[in-house]
């Protein structure tokens, strides 16, 4: 069985874009909505941006990365606290909106 088959059988998505979709659905809260909005804004600003999934290993699921002629940023989440956009200029955190 090849790696792609084994990932599909474990329920992981095949393409980086599919993995981003799955992450957004998995979050199902304000963090998923923030990632979806940021994703849409980036695609609107640069339709040729590529979605990649990097640094996956046994101890970490990896991270979504946006690139176009080089990396633009990664977008990650922490438990109910923040959405972090790691760019070449540093980290920008979006905190959970106050209710």
Query: What are 21-31's pLDDT values in tens digits?
Result: 998 898 888 88
Length of the chain: 99
Query: What are 58-95's pLDDT values in tens digits?
Result: 888 888 888 888 778 888 887 767 788 887 655 556 67
Count structural domains, the chain.
1
Full residue range of the structural domain in which residue 43 is found: 3-95
Q: Given pLDDT bands bounded at 50, 70 and 90, which one contains residue 9?
A: very low
Specify the pTM.
0.67
β-strand pairing of 63-67 with 82-87: unpaired
Report CA torsion sign: 7, 33, 55, 61.
Answer: negative
Are 67 and 52 a contacting pair, CB within 8 Å?
yes
């Amino acid at each position: 069985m090849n790696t792609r088959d084994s990932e599909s059988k474990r329920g992981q998505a095949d393409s980086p874009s599919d993995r981003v979709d799955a992450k957004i659905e998995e979050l199902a809260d304000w963090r998923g909505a923030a990632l979806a909005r940021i994703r849409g804004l980036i695609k609107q600003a640069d339709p040729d941006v590529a979605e990649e999934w990097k640094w996956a290993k046994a101890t970490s699921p990896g991270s979504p990365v946006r690139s176009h002629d080089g990396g633009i940023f990664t977008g990650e989440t922490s438990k109910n606290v923040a959405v972090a956009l790691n760019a070449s200029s540093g980290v920008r955190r979006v905190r959970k909106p106050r209710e």
